């Protein structure tokens, strides 16, 4: 059981707080030296080249830093502030209107930035104090911000979808198309929950009657459209160029960067200092992502050379229920790991281990990738290590307690799991199929 024990050792070491990338790389090398042939370590450069090289396999990952850069530029243009102000005026007179506005702005930020941390922090700084000032219950206010901020995991262009496309060897454009329907369903479920909760508990999410009373309704709508149309146009250009095969995902991400800079100029927020700081932040985030990728590649090499890959494949194929038993087991495993690990580690460590089983069982890889993406989105909200929880706590007013943030996240976790189950049982509702398409 040496091959399986390497995975257990890695999880135990991570619990002590060691850096993820170096933990995986170090344990992979150690197990190869101790339990396999040390000469096999000479394969490490070839593995890195196959993942990151210019041989065509690593080209899809070029979109990652470009989409990150686009998101950071848009975040620094104060896009969230303008959208929340306009949406707040538009829906403020509706019970739960500020929470609905937060969901819609979160969806737009997700589609334009794709950076969960930036979305949660931006709305936590802007929207949370406003909702609390108008008498919103802390749990519904924080839960709405957390849920809408994590929409960047499933709504394209999403960094996690690009990573999944690379790991599962499927076209990024196909994942972007397939993720649209689940993302829209999730937005609708969030809004539906807010409306039902505010109807059952009027004092928890009151209407803001004074909002917009000094302006005509038509002027408020025009103001909201002016705030929404520029980022929406950028989203449509980026995704439309991919869906219509005008540009590859990498080319469209570069187009998005240019569009983001143009929006910064339009909003009069552009400066060379801002450009430099955005590039610097992009390099830091990208370095983290690719360091985990390289560490995970070395780990998977050690896992394979010590026999773990074969053991795991036999174990998964022996699960009762064949395809459905395997899918349920993997979804439960990813949900459990989401309590402790980030989506990057799960994507690069767990999924390569199950890829061969997915192919052998004839499971549609695009459908499987969307299931995983939805599951990984939940990991941002699950205590104790849900990153979105920490992002919000870091910017929330002092009177907001951690337990209130946790309680606020629970209903939205349940909503995400319900949508995940419907995707698993009824993929045709989302325009997908559970079977791998025939080659003939």
- According to the model, what pLDDT value does residue 217 have? 66
- According to the model, what pLDDT value does residue 440 have? 43
Ranges of each domain in the chain: 2-430
Q: Give this prediction's pTM.
A: 0.79
Share in percent of the chain as helix, strand, coil (round to 5): 75, 0, 20
| Residues lower than pLDDT 50 in the chain | 54-57, 210-212, 439-440
Burial of 199 (0-12, 13-18, 19+ CB in 10 A): exposed
- According to the model, what pLDDT value does residue 212 have? 44
- According to the model, what pLDDT value does residue 258 have? 92
- According to the model, what pLDDT value does residue 214 have? 57
- According to the model, what pLDDT value does residue 209 have? 58
Using DSSP's 3-state secondary structure scheme, residue 115 falls into coil
- According to the model, what pLDDT value does residue 181 have? 92
pLDDT digits (tens, 9 = 90+) for 339-389: 767 777 788 778 887 888 888 888 899 999 999 999 988 888 887 667 788
As a whole number of angstroms, the distance between CA 133 and CA 146 comes to: 18
Cα-only R_g, the chain: 22
- According to the model, what pLDDT value does residue 1 have? 66
H-type alpha helices, 113-137:
116-133
- According to the model, what pLDDT value does residue 3 have? 64
- According to the model, what pLDDT value does residue 59 have? 62
């Amino acid at each position: 059981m040496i091959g399986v024990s390497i995975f257990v050792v890695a999880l135990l070491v991570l619990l002590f707080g060691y850096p993820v990338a170096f933990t995986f790389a170090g344990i992979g090398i150690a197990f190869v030296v101790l339990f396999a042939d040390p000469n096999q370590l000479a394969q490490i450069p070839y593995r890195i080249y196959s993942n990151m090289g210019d041989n065509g396999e690593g080209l899809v990952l070029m979109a990652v830093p470009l989409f990150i850069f686009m998101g950071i530029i848009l975040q620094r243009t104060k896009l969230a502030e303008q959208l929340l102000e306009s949406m707040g005026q538009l829906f403020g007179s509706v019970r739960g209107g500020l929470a609905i506005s937060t969901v819609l702005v979160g969806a737009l930020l997700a589609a334009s930035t794709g950076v969960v941390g930036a979305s949660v922090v931006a709305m936590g700084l802007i929207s949370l104090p406003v909702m609390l000032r108008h008498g919103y219950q802390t749990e519904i206010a924080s839960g709405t911000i957390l849920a809408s901020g994590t929409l960047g995991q499933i709504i394209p262009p999403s960094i996690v979808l690009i990573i999944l496309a690379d790991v599962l060897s499927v076209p990024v454009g196909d994942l972007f198309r397939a993720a649209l329907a689940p993302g829209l369903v999730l937005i609708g479920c969030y809004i539906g929950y807010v409306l039902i909760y505010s109807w059952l508990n009027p004092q928890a999410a009151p209407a803001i009657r004074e909002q917009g009373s000094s302006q005509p309704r038509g002027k408020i709508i025009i103001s909201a459209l002016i705030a929404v149309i520029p980022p929406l146009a950028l989203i449509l250009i980026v995704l439309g160029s991919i869906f219509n095969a005008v540009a590859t995902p990498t080319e469209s991400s570069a187009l998005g960067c240019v569009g983001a800079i143009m929006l910064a100029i339009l909003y009069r927020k552009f400066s060379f200092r801002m450009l430099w700081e955005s590039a610097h932040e992009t390099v830091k985030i990208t370095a983290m992502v690719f360091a985990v990728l390289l560490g995970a590649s070395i780990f998977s090499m050690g896992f394979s050379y010590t026999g773990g890959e074969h053991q795991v494949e036999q174990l998964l194929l022996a699960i009762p229920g064949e395809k459905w038993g395997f899918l349920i087991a993997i979804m439960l495993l990813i949900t459990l790991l989401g309590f402790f690990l980030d989506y990057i580690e799960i994507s690069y460590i767990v999924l390569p281990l199950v890829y061969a089983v997915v192919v052998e069982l004839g499971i549609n890889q695009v459908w499987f990738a969307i299931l995983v993406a939805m599951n990984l989105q939940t990991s941002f909200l699950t205590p104790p290590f849900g990153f979105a929880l920490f992002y919000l706590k870091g910017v929330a007013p002092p009177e907001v307690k951690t337990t209130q943030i946790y309680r606020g996240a629970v209903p939205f976790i349940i909503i995400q799991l319900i949508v995940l189950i419907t995707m698993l049982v009824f993929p045709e509702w989302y325009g997908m199929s559970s079977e791998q398409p025939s080659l003939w």
